[in-house]
Structure 1
Amino acid sequence: MKLTILGGGGFRVPLVYGALLTDRGEGRVTHVVLHDLDDGRLRAVARVLAEQAAAVPDAPRVTATTDLDEALRGADFVFSAIRVGGLEGRADDERVALAEGVLGQETVGAGGIAYGLRTVPVAVDIARRAARLAPDAWVINFTNPAGLVTEAMSRHLGDRVIGICDSPVGLGRRIARVLGADPKQAWIDYVGLNHLGWVRGLRIAGRDELPRLLADPGLLGSFEEGKLFGADWLQSLGAIPNEYLHYYYFNREAVRAYRQAEKTRGAFLAGQQARFYEEMRDPGAAALAAWDRTRAEREATYMAENRESAGAGERDADDLSGGYEKVALALMRAIARDERTTLILNVRNQGVLSVLDADAVIEVPCLVDSGGAHPVAVAPLPEHATGLVCAVKGVEREVLAAAESGSRARAVKAFALHPLVDSVNVARRLVEAYADVHPGLAYLK
């Protein structure tokens, strides 16, 4: 089975390959094609993968190419993890937004809109090519903003594109662990949009254990989200929000922390990864050891500004292991082998949330089998969550409209309507500033 990884020179690709190395079952991936626009990054990542596979018999074969059509042709699965504009673009997204006093995070607020505006046209081109060159392939999208990009691709691939994210998985795992339960045995009642969702229940043997957690301030304060949001606020919500909702519930504090930081997250990662890829230019460097060292630093500093502003302290060791690669592998196994499972995924709504239309991509538990991912019916969201979901989905639709039409006015509208951008004039200045620094936005007229 052939797996094509778009963004194959990306730093986190070895996580995906490492997960593949654990799969010894029938119908497993036997050929991995790495595609990237940067041949040097491809060679660097291929070296890491070669060291990963050195002690593994019959490891999946790895080839690399800068030709997109060649990479897509005949693929069974396509994993999309591209970053349009690179980490330098992410740093620019953050810098421009913070100069206006608004959030520049890559998936939330102004930064997420800017990233979406330059990513959607590229993702749509990939979707069209995949439909033509690999019509039977399943596309797994990890490209951010994951929900928005998945919805853009779904207009050309239908339900054969599925978005993944490790945030809900990690949240459910942490809650189950605190409650003394096996995460694999828990049903997580989670719903929302990507990076905008809530756990409303966690059922173990048919019993909802979330009320027990919410009633115990000590337990609430013992894991990442409890430290980040505070026990009182979680008890007021009656739910556990995705960590990215910290940007909404504590926006002023988050913006202040990001403005006071020595470097933005994007600037930090750009410098860190540049050092890794530079090190890989030395043919004698130990590739896997350098990658492991760099990844450990990356994971330990994740959302550091938010944790600092909340007084949440350092991340727990158990939260430093990532997880999206495990979601991707479980998804591929379920589809390729009809190994039915339940995963929280980004898929078309299909009537699950009545406040959104059928084609709106949402993040929700899905039953997965050889026919793809099927969203599970969930209870309606409370009004405060419904308002936020509808507002952000409306912004996503404006981004899609701007990308399709090239309308600068629609782009301004997308920024102006976002709950974290509080001024039409700020929105106009943001579009001007982003167009100045991103060549990929030259299509906006």
Structure 2
Amino acid sequence: MRLTILGGGGFRVPLVYGALLGDHAEGRVTEVVLHDPDDRRLRAVSRVLAEQAEGVADAPAVSATTDLDEALRGARFVFSAIRVGGLQGRAEDERIALAAGVPGQETVGAGGIAYGLRTVPVAVDIARRVARLAPDAWVINFTNPAGLVTEAMARHLGDRVIGICDSPVGLGRRIARVLGADPKRAFVDYVGLNHLGWVRALRVAGRDELPRLLGDPALLGSFEEGRLFGADWLRSLGAIPNEYLHYYYFNRETVRAYQRAERTRGAFLRDQQARFYAEAADPGVSALRAWERTRAEREATYMAENRESAGAGEREEDDLSGGYEKVALALMRAIARDERATLILNVRNRSTLHVLDADAVVEVPCLVDAGGAHPLAADPLPGHATGLVCAVKDVERQVLSAAESGSRATAVKAFALHPLVDSVNLARRLVDEYAAAHPGLGYLK
């Protein structure tokens, strides 16, 4: 079975390949095709994968190409993990937002809108090529903003594109661990949009264990989200929010923390990965060990400013092990082998959340089988969560409309309607500054 990874020179590709190396069952991936426009990055990642495969007799064969159409032909699964504009683009997204006094983050608020505006046209082109060259392939979207990009691609691929994110998985795992439950046996009632969702229950053998957590201040303070949001606020909500909701609930504190930082997260990753790719090009250096060192630093510093502003301390060791590659492997297994699995995914809403239309992409538990991902029924969200979800979904729709029409006015509307952008004039300024920084936004007129 052939898997194509778009963004195949990306830093996290070895996580996916490492997961594939542990799969020895019939129907597994036997061929991996890496695609990236940057041949230097492809060579570096290929070296890492070659070292990972040493001693694994049935390791999937790896090839690399800069030709997108060649990469797509014959694929059974396509992972879309692209970054339009690279990490320099992310650094600019964050810098411009923070200079304007709004959160600078690649998926949340102004930075996420800017990233979406330049990513959607590229993602749509990929979706059209997949429909033409590999119509039977399943596309698994890793590309951020994951919900927005998945919805853009779904307009051309329907339910054959599924978005994934490791945040809900990590959150559910942490809650289960604190409660002494096996994460594999727990059902996580998680509902919302990508990077905008809440755990409302954690059921073990049919019993909801979340009230026990919410009622115990010591337990609440013993894991990352408890320290990040504070026990009082979590009890007020009656739910555990995704970590990215910290940008909404503690907006001012987060902006100040990021403004005080020596450099933004994007700038840190840009510089860090530049060192890795330079090191991995040296034939006398172990590319795998260089990658492992770089990854350990990357994971340990994830959302460091948010944790600093909340006094949440360092990340726990168990949270440094990744997760999205495990979701991707479980998703592929369920589809390719009809091994039923329940996974939290980004899919078209259908009738899951009645406040959104059927085509709106949401992030919810799904039953996955050979027919794809089927969202499970969900209870309505409370009013405060419904308001945020509807507001942010409308912003996503404005981004899609602006990307399709090239309308600058619609792009301004997307920024102005976002809950974290507090002025129409600021929205206009942000559009001007992002367009000046990113040639990929030249289509806005």
Work out the percentage of aligned pairs sharing the same amino acid: 85
Where in structure 2 are the equivalents of 1:54-65 lying within 5 Å? 54-65=54-65
**Cα distance, 1:57 vs structure 2:** 0.8
The answer for the alignment partner of 2:103 in structure 1 is 103
Number of the residue aligned with 1:301: 301
Instruction: Give the aligned partner of residue 330 of structure 1.
Output: 330
SS at match of 2:110: helix
Matches within 5 A, 1:431-442: 431-442=431-442
CA distance in 1, matches of 2:34, 2:140: 15
What is the CA deviation profile of residues 240-264 of structure 1, one whole-angstrom value per residue up to 9, with x for unaligned ones? 0000000000000000000000010
1:257 aligns with 2:261: no
Q: Deviations over 1:167-186 (max 9, x none)?
A: 00000000000000000000
Q: How does 1:63-102 map to 2 (within 5 A)?
A: 63-102=63-102
Which residue is 1:289 aligned to? 289
DSSP-derived class of the 2:203 partner: strand
Q: Secondary structure at the match of 1:344?
A: strand
Kindly provide the CA deviation profile for residues 112-152 of structure 1, in whole angstroms up to 9, marking residues without a partner as x. 00000000000000000000000000000000000000000
1:393 aligns with 2:384: no
Q: Which residue of 2 aligns with 1:140?
A: 140
Distance in 1 separating the partners of 2:58 and 2:215: 51
Distance in 2 (CA, whole Å) between partners of 1:55 and 1:172 is 34
- What does 1:8-407 correspond to in 2, within 5 Å? 8-407=8-407
TM-score, normalised via structure 1 length: 1.00
Secondary structure of the structure 2 residue equivalent to 1:9:
coil
Give the 3-state SS of the residue equivalent to 1:124 in structure 2.
Answer: helix
Q: Secondary structure at the match of 1:78?
A: strand
Indicate the SS of the match to 1:414: helix
| TM-superposition CA deviations, 1:338-366 (whole Å, max 9, x none) | 00010000000001000000000000000
2:419 maps to a residue whose letter is P
Query: Partner of 2:275: helix, strand, or coil?
Result: helix
Partner-residue secondary structure (3-state), 1:343: strand
Q: Secondary structure at the match of 2:403?
A: helix
Task: Render the CA deviation track for 1:197-252: whole Å, top value 9, x for unaligned.
Answer: 00000000110000000000000000010010000000000000000000000000
- The TM-score normalised by the length of structure 2 is 1.00
The one-letter code of the counterpart of 1:126 is I
What is the alpha-carbon distance in structure 2 between the residues aligned to residue 280 and residue 314 of structure 1? Answer: 29
Runs of 4+ in structure 1 over 6 Å off: none
Instruction: Provide the C-alpha distance between the structure 2 equivalents of 1:207 and 1:119, rounded to a whole number of angstroms.
Output: 42
What is the SS of the residue equivalent to 1:37?
A: coil
Number of residue equivalences = 445
SS in 1 for 2:165: coil
Contact 2:24-2:58 within 8 A present in 1 as well: no
Q: Which runs of 5+ in 2 are unaligned?
A: none
Work out the CA distance in 2 between the residues paired with 1:180 and 1:116.
39
Give the root-mean-square deviation of aligned CA atoms: 0.3
> What SS class does the counterpart of residue 148 from structure 1 fall into?
helix
1:58 deviation in Å?
1.4
Match of 1:270, SS state, is: helix
For 2:238 and 2:198, the matched residues in 1 are separated by 10
* Equivalent AA in structure 1 for residue 171 of structure 2: L
2-side partners of 1:288 and 1:183: how far apart?
30
Q: CA deviation at 1:325?
A: 0.1
- Whichever residue aligns with residue 330 of structure 2, its letter is A
Aligned-pair CA distance for 1:281: 1.9
Q: Distance in 2 between matches of 1:443 and 1:103?
A: 25
Cα distance in 2 between the residues matched to 1:29 and 1:239: 38
Residues 46-95 of structure 1: CA deviation (Å, up to 9, x unaligned): 00000000111110000000000000011000000000000000000000
Residue matched to 1:426:
426
SS in 1 for 2:200: strand
